[in-house]
């Protein structure tokens, strides 16, 4: 990171932290996946669910037997902004994390990419674009050979699951990369869950509402609904 970029990131963090102290509401959640301090990475496994806590708290997806509470009654508790800010400053993993952004692949919502955007102590997780592998070519072709080739490369590299992946960039100073990798890997499905997920997707789940209901039965999805102003590409409120 050059000196000007570091200064900009520190200014951005300071502005965000100040805004957090005065804000009435904020979004806080869990991390998806990354390999480098200032870079991005891709994985071939979906991220499982995670409880949303103060700042960057992560939990592994629960087993299919862990459904004691009604998911429809689950409500996210948003901490006070001052608590979020204090927790970020006290957490060595994220205290010097200035900015992170990218896309993530959520196991229970296989048709849309999740959008990740964090600045300072503010983190927003929302529903994004439809994965390119589920689109017709004319929906994503730009007319630029270089761009279109990159999209096709991503789709082909992912094999059966196309361009679905975790791809998040982290920008910070003195980040503990191995510790971040470990906590992010904890969000991924384990081997057994991955087998169940693939079996569901190869059966009724691929692009169908009833299939996504099956995935929600397999995995406890603790994320809020993804709202889309134009079209609900998932076929339901998620």
> Would the pLDDT of 232 be above 70?
no
- Domain-embedded: residue 30: yes
How high is the pLDDT of residue 108?
93
Starting at the edge strand that comes first in sequence, how are the strands of the sheet with 97-104 ordered?
Answer: 122-130, 112-119, 97-104, 167-172
Rg for the chain, CA atoms, rounded: 18
Domain that includes residue 99, residue range? 3-54+76-133+164-189
Residue 117 in any domain: the answer is yes
**Is residue 17 one of the residues assigned to a domain?**
yes
Please state the rounded mean pLDDT for residues 116-136: 94
pLDDT: is 219 or 170 the higher one?
Answer: 170
Q: Is residue 149 part of a domain?
A: no
pLDDT band (50, 70, 90) for residue 212: confident
- Total structural domains within the chain: 1
The residue that leads in pLDDT, 51 or 114, is 114
In a domain, 179, yes or no: yes
Q: How much is the pLDDT for 226?
A: 87
> Is residue 176 included in any domain, yes or no?
yes
| Phi, psi of 208, rounded to the nearest 5 degrees | -120, 150
Q: Which residues contact 85 (CB under 8 A, 6 or more apart)?
A: 17, 20, 21, 121
Residue 175: band (very low, low, confident or very high) from pLDDT cuts 50, 70, 90: very high
Token pair 């904890």 in the structure block, residue:
186
CATH number of the domain that residue 87 is part of: 3.30.1220
Residue 204 domain flag = no
Among 59-63, 108-112, 227-231, the minimum mean pLDDT is found in: 59-63
**Domain contains 8:** yes
Instruction: Give 37-96 pLDDT, tens digit per residue.
Output: 344 444 568 886 433 322 232 323 333 344 444 444 446 677 888 898 899 999 999 999
Classify residue 110 as exposed, middle or buried by CB count within 10 Å of its CB (0-12, 13-18, 19+): buried
Specify which of 1-5, 48-52, 208-212 reaches the highest per-range mean pLDDT: 208-212
Handedness of CA 211, 217, 221, 222 (dihedral sign): positive
């Amino acid at each position: 990171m050059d000196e000007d970029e570091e200064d900009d990131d520190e200014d951005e963090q300071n502005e965000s932290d100040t805004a957090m102290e005065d804000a009435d509401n904020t979004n806080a959640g869990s991390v998806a996946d990354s390999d480098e301090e200032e870079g991005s990475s891709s994985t071939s496994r979906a991220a499982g669910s995670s409880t949303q806590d103060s700042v960057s708290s992560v939990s592994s997806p629960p087993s299919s037997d862990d459904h004691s509470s009604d998911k429809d009654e689950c409500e996210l508790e948003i901490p006070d902004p001052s608590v979020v800010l204090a927790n970020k400053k006290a957490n060595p993993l994220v205290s010097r994390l200035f900015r992170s952004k990218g896309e993530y692949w959520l196991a229970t919502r296989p048709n849309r990419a999740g959008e990740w955007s964090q600045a300072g102590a503010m983190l927003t997780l929302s529903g994004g674009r439809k994965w390119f592998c589920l689109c017709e070519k004319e929906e994503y072709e730009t007319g630029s050979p270089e761009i279109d080739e990159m999209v096709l490369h991503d789709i082909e590299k992912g094999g059966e699951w196309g361009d679905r992946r975790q791809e998040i960039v982290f920008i910070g100073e003195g980040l503990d990369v191995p510790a971040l990798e470990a906590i992010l890997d904890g969000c991924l499905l384990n081997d057994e869950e991955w087998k169940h997920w693939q079996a569901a997707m190869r059966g009724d789940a691929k692009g169908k509402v009833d299939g996504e209901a099956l995935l929600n039965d397999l995995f406890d999805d603790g994320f809020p609904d993804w709202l889309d102003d134009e079209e609900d590409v998932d076929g339901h409120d998620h």
